[in-house]
Amino acid sequence: MADEVRVPDTGIPPTIVFCNHKGGVAKTTTTVMVAEVFSREFNIPRILVIDCDSQGNASESLSPEDITNIPTIESCISDPDHVRYCVYPSHFDGVDFIAANTRLESPIPAEIVVGSGIESIPVAYKTSLDAIFEIIKRVKDKYDIILIDTAPNLSPITQSAIYAATCVVIPCSPIKHAVFGMPIMSMTVERINPDVPVVVVTTIHDRRTSYENLAIKQLQKGFNVIGDITRNSRLSENISKHAYVLSRMEDDRKAPILSFCHALLGVCMAKYKQYDAVEDAVEVADA
């Protein structure tokens, strides 16, 4: 199957970037959830998650081991050929990951020595626009789908991830400041990667709250909202316990997650029709 990959344009597999400069809107939760559901429910065999956030939350959620001392995305940005030392199997079969940790945003020395120049700037802030794309190019034949979790900012590393995307997902919770930030977020994506499909998933939604329902309606008017993930403590609990995201979950709680993942597969894979792994996944998802 993988040997017959026929992907468009750049030759890289579908690369979905989860981004929102607003913090705490479920970017990481959505990234991990999509990785596991794509793997387990849609049988996508080889998934890579790249963590581009120095908080390292996606890495911690996926790693069977302590991530403090393993080579990370920082090393790949400095030299993309290092990627071969930086890919690790997650605790979840079929999902690998590249970790991030605080080395991405190491403290700037209090006294910058004359001539030290760019050396003293943390990697996250001097990442070139094509850095993440260069990393992906080196693993493109090993994965069917790549998912990228980003930090709550628009730093160069976040922009580099957006530049590499073949699809962008903006998770947004129905709270005032998250909704306020959406126009600038979507404009930023458009400026960096003008032709990329951009979809929104509303997250951590309490459907009993009229204020939140109003915010969801507002988002639906302005953006291509393809999913609505309700507040679901089992989802968070499963991720924090390294259990499968849908385990011990009632069907009515699973439904919005499966519906979003199905819709995402359709939108993001539209131009990969000839790509066997995706064709198979769409068939499984549609069944």
Ligand X SMILES: Nc1ncnc2c1ncn2[C@@H]1O[C@H](COP(=O)(O)OP(=O)(O)OP(=O)(O)O)[C@@H](O)[C@H]1O
Residues that bind ligand X (CB under 6 A): 23-29, 53, 55, 57, 152, 203-204, 229, 231-233, 235-236
For residue 48, count other CB atoms closer than 10 A to its CB. Answer: 24
Is 97:149 a contact under the CB 8 Å cutoff? no
Q: How far is the CB of 273 from ligand X (least distance, A)?
A: 31
Q: In 3D, which of 202, 240, 235 has the Cα closest to residue 221?
A: 202
Partner from Mg ion, ligand X, none contacting 24, C-beta within 5 to 8 A by type: ligand X
Partner from Mg ion, ligand X, none contacting 26, C-beta within 5 to 8 A by type: ligand X
Partner from Mg ion, ligand X, none contacting 227, C-beta within 5 to 8 A by type: none
Question: Rounded CA gap, 244 and 269, in Å?
Answer: 24
Q: If binding is defined by CB under 5 A, does position 254 make contact with Mg ion?
A: no
Q: How far is the CB of 179 from ligand X (least distance, A)?
A: 15
For residue 204, is it left (φ>0), alpha (ψ between -120 and 50) or beta?
left
Q: How far is the CB of 204 from ligand X (least distance, A)?
A: 4
Query: For Mg ion, which residue has the nearest CB?
Result: 28
The token duo for 252 is: 């009515």
Site string for Mg ion, 39-78 (x = CB under 5 A): ------------------x---------------------
Please say which residue, 62 or 204, places its beta carbon nearer to ligand X. Answer: 204
Please say which residue, 7 or 185, places its beta carbon nearer to ligand X. Answer: 185
Q: In 3D, which of 186, 156, 170 has the Cα closest to residue 227?
A: 170
Please say which residue, 26 or 146, places its beta carbon nearer to ligand X. Answer: 26
Paired sense of beta strands 95-98 and 47-52, if any: parallel
Partner from Mg ion, ligand X, none contacting 235, C-beta within 5 to 8 A by type: ligand X
Please say which residue, 169 or 278, places its beta carbon nearer to ligand X. Answer: 169
Selected range binding Mg ion among 20-28, 74-82, 91-99, 257-265, rule: CB under 5 A: 20-28
Residue with tokens 């809107």: 25
Q: How far is the CB of 24 from ligand X (least distance, A)?
A: 4
Q: If binding is defined by CB under 5 A, does position 28 make contact with Mg ion?
A: yes
Please say which residue, 263 or 284, places its beta carbon nearer to ligand X. Answer: 263
Based on C-alpha coordinates, what's the Rg of the chain?
18
Q: In 3D, which of 46, 70, 56 has the Cα closest to residue 276?
A: 46
Helix (H) or strand (E) holding 113: none
Q: How far is the CB of 66 from Mg ion (least distance, A)?
A: 19
For residue 215, count other CB atoms closer than 10 A to its CB. Answer: 20
The type of residue at 123 is V
Q: In 3D, which of 199, 268, 203 has the Cα closest to residue 38?
A: 268
Footprint on this chain of Mg ion (rule: CB under 5 A): 27-28, 57
